[in-house]
Amino acid sequence: MSRPSSAGPSANKPCGKQQQQQHHTPSPAAAPAANPTAAAATISAAGAGSSAVPAAAAVISSPGAGESSGGPVSPQHHELTSLFECPVCFDYVLPPILQCQAGHLVCNQCRQKLSCCPTCRGSLTPSIRNLAMEKVASAVLFPCKYATTGCSLTLHHTEKPDHEDICEYRPYSCPCPGASCKWQGSLEAVMSHLMHAHKSITTLQGEDIVFLATDINLPGAVDWVMMQSCFGHHFMLVLEKQEKYEGHQQFFAIVLLIGTRKQAENFAYRLELNGNRRRLTWEATPRSIHDGVAAAIMNSDCLVFDTAIAHLFADNGNLGINVTISTCCP
């Protein structure tokens, strides 16, 4: 199979199938973030304000605690859940539920930032536990906070925070390493954002390419990034150098899919260092950009090698990584 790649200055345009290598200018290192995925490695060498409970029994017809539903929500159910809306952030007040002395509710996150009740301006201390509303909350399924962007799930309050952390309808953050870009948007807008705001990232076409990271001997934390386009999807290749342990610099290489976790399960990638009669290979499922690279690096769930190994494969301070994307059989 031919290896598409490119030469010359970084630019955000596709490269021809017959070009050979892509050079990358390092940029400041990434900040950690995200969740692990499985991989296999082969290495050779109240209406705020009332403590009274409305006629809840008449309107609660939901699965038991621990279950979730994607069905339509009745007007009565919506009316009931609206009693739990925080008057500050409009999210839901979930157990443990505290009220001011007049009976008004505010969620725990907002309560920590307030000096008085946002409804009556009365004192928030001493805290009064509203056990009646907690019992109602335990019998109600709450909509996901990303319902407005498409999530149809309703969940028990104990499941809601964990689900929202991984909800596919949660806005995507910019996947570029580094903490400077605060962009968030839909999955469909990610590539457009990268093309306009991160023009130094080059995209190569083809499932088998060479990613050439230049100047790997630069001191401190550094990262190299490029895009690979194949099978109708875009993949982000990231190589980071950081001091994970004091005085011990390591390189971490990983592939992310510009797509959902479910889409990522349809692909596999292989990273290979090859030269001087040595070979180092890592094979895994790409991570979704929804998860990022931080958890993978923290758990060493990626291609990991130290500076000594990097020098075994490098040529004049430049390190070539063979990257192959393949589809998985259903």
CATH of 198-327, one of 1.20.1250.20, 2.60.40.10, 3.30.1490.150, 2.60.210.10: 2.60.210.10
3-class DSSP state for residue 57?
helix
Domain span(s) for CATH 3.30.40.10 in the chain: 75-166
Residue type for 326, please?
S
Indicate the pLDDT class of residue 72, thresholds 50, 70 and 90: low
Q: Return the higher-pLDDT residue of 101 and 2.
A: 101
Specify the amino acid at residue 283.
E
DSSP one-letter code for 47: -
pLDDT at 31: 40
- Tell me if 102 sits within 8 A of 117, measured CB to CB: yes
What integer pLDDT is reported at residue 18 of this predicted model?
A: 36
Q: State what percent of residues in the chain have pLDDT above 70.
A: 76
116-138: average pLDDT = 91
More confident position, 63 or 150? 150
d(CA 78, CA 59): 9
- In this prediction, residue 162 has a pLDDT band, given cuts at 50, 70 and 90, of confident
DSSP 19-45: ---EEE--EEPPPP------EE-----
For residue 41, name the pLDDT band (cuts at 50, 70, 90). very low
* Structure-token match 């955000």, residue found: 12
CB atoms within 10 A of CB 25: 13
242-279 pLDDT, tens digit each: 987 777 899 999 999 999 888 999 999 999 999 888 99
What's the pLDDT score for residue 309? 95
In the CATH scheme, what architecture does the domain 75-166 have? Answer: 2-Layer Sandwich (3.30)
Q: Quote the distance between the C-alpha of residue 166 and its chain's center.
A: 8
Is residue 148 scored above 80 in pLDDT? Answer: yes
3-state SS of the chain: helix, strand, coil percent to 5?
20, 30, 50
* Cα-based angle 236, 283, 304 (whole degrees, multiple of 5): 75
Q: Is the full-model pTM beyond 0.85?
A: no
| % of the chain with per-residue pLDDT over 90 | 47
Rounded to an integer, what distance in angstroms lies between the CA atom of residue 93 and that of residue 47? 10
Cα–Cα nearest to 160, from 143, 138, 172: 143
Residue 42 pLDDT > 70? no
Q: What amino acid occupies position 89?
A: C
Going from the C-alpha of 217 to that of each of 70, 192, 242, 318, the distances in angstroms are 52, 32, 12, 9
Q: Three-class SS of residue 210?
A: strand
User: Burial, 76: exposed, middle or buried (Cβ in 10 Å; 0-12, 13-18, 19+)?
Assistant: middle
- State pLDDT tens for residues 226-248: 999 999 999 999 999 998 777 78
CATH code 2.60.210.10 region(s) in the chain: 198-327
| 96 neighbors 81 (Cβ within 8 angstroms) | no
Amino acid at the residue 121:
R
> Which conformational region is residue 57 in: left (phi greater than 0), alpha (psi within -120 to 50 degrees), or beta?
alpha
